[in-house]
Structure 1
Amino acid sequence: MSRKTDRPGSALSDEDRVLWNLVARSTRPLKGRSAPAPEPAASAVQDKVAPATESRPPAAAAAPTLAKSLHLRHALDRPTLDKLSRGKLPIEGRVDLHGMTQSEAHALLLSFLKRAHDRGVRYVLVITGKGFSSGGDGILKRQVPAWLATPPFRALVSSHDVSARHHGGEGALYLRIRRKS
């Protein structure tokens, strides 16, 4: 947010708006003050700007089997995975999707990967969380691998795999970003 404008808040990107809404939901107003109305979610802004088929996450019903099959098909090679887990290859970016809704996480992940691709970043870490608090696997843990197989993400990500234990284990993914053409 290096741009300055006359109106505060008008320079927020979709990603900044998603992050701000997460922070705003976690705070309480001071005594005697009411909470401000939340800004529109990034998915609502994206629906107005982009075609609906481009930014919508896939259906949740097909995700468990789809995510497992896609994850195996687009796995990182073993030497690269070993180098990432041992710190021999640098992880040049991280994004934490904890506590986000699917639409917020989808928008944030897509914008993060676009920026990483534009900067020429090669390996990133995506933290989804394990999601055991609700008695099962987390929705983001299941959905993110499925999203990575959709056209907007396939143009940015060449492969992915579960991270090493010290990087989050099954609650995080290593992603290899495609080279700029």
Structure 2
Amino acid sequence: MRKPRHLSPEERDLWDSVAGRMKPLDPKRPKTPEPVAPPKKAALRERDIIQDFMVGAQADPKRPNDVLKPVGARLKSAPVNMDAKNYGRMTKGKLKPEGRLDLHGMTLAEAHPELVAFILGAQAVGKRLVLVITGKGKERDEGYAIPVRNGILRHQVPQWLALPPMAQAILQVTPAHLKHGGHGAYYVYLRRSR
């Protein structure tokens, strides 16, 4: 840090002449501020002492660290866009899927084009209900600070189905009944092709 520079006698005279012509903003205010007493140090209480902190030290490993509800719960709470009678029959497993796509063992890069081709192809030939099997996913924990969800495809497929070009072909997406795969599969009810 630099030391302050001292003014020369000429600079000091110039400064005094400028400062002498100035008027205070508040004439009632004293020219020199009153000294402020330093704050008193309070005794530290036990709760004020910061303890050593480790990320995730108090996390409950049994409780998922998700902000969102599980995919199945979100899909079940979505509004019904199709005939209520057929929706009830579909969720009870009484409607038979007309087509089936199994994405087991595929990566995200392999599964997405397969899903797009399957959904648009099924709608083009007039199918109404198809089954997309994603699998439930493997239980795994690599020990990272951010937990990894089980079943990457199981979480990604409903998001893909809600985006173009498939969104305009789909009327309803729900988790499949147990006899068609349960939480590892989705019923996709398609719109009629025009």
Using structure 2 for the length normalisation, give the TM-score. Answer: 0.53
**Superposition misfits of 4+ residues, deviation over 2 angstroms:** 64-82, 84-90, 132-136
> Structure 1 CA distance, aligned partners of 2:116 and 2:131?
13
Report the structure, 1 or 2, having the larger helix content: 1
Give yes or no for contact 1:157–1:178 (8 Å, CA) kept in 2.
Answer: yes
Query: What is the RMSD of the two structures over their aligned residues, measured on CA atoms?
Result: 2.8
Runs of at least 5 residues in structure 2 that lack an aligned partner in the other structure: 1-66, 142-148
- The secondary structure found in structure 2 opposite 1:173 is strand
Query: What is the Cα deviation at residue 158 of structure 1?
Result: 1.2
> 1:77-156 residue pairs with structure 2 within 5 A?
79-84=85-90, 88-135=94-141, 136-156=149-169
Q: Which residue in the other structure is 1:175 paired with? A: 188
> Judging changes above 3 Å, is the alpha-carbon distance between structure 1 residues 170 and 137 closer, same or farther for their aligned structure 2 residues?
same
Who is 1:47 aligned against?
A: none
CA shift digits 1:62-102 (9 cap, x unpaired): xx849849634355766434423555423100000011010
Cα pair 1:128 1:172 within 8 Å, conserved: yes
- The amino acid of 1:163's aligned partner reads A
Q: How many pairs are equivalent?
A: 119
2:78 aligned to which of 70, 73, 83: 73
Query: Aligned to 1:152, what secondary structure does the other structure show?
Result: coil
- Shift of the 75–169 alpha-carbon distance from structure 1 to 2, 3 Å rule, reads farther
Aligned partner of 1:171: which letter? G
Which is greater in Rg? 2
Q: Deviations over 1:22-78 (max 9, x none)?
A: xxxxxxxxxxxxxxxxxxxxxxxxxxxxxxxxxxxxxxxxxx849849634355766
- CA distance in 2: counterparts of 1:66 and 1:112, whole angstroms: 28
Structure 2 Cα separation of the partners of residues 91 and 66 of structure 1: 27
TM-score normalised by L of structure 1? 0.57
Matched letter for residue 121 of structure 2: R
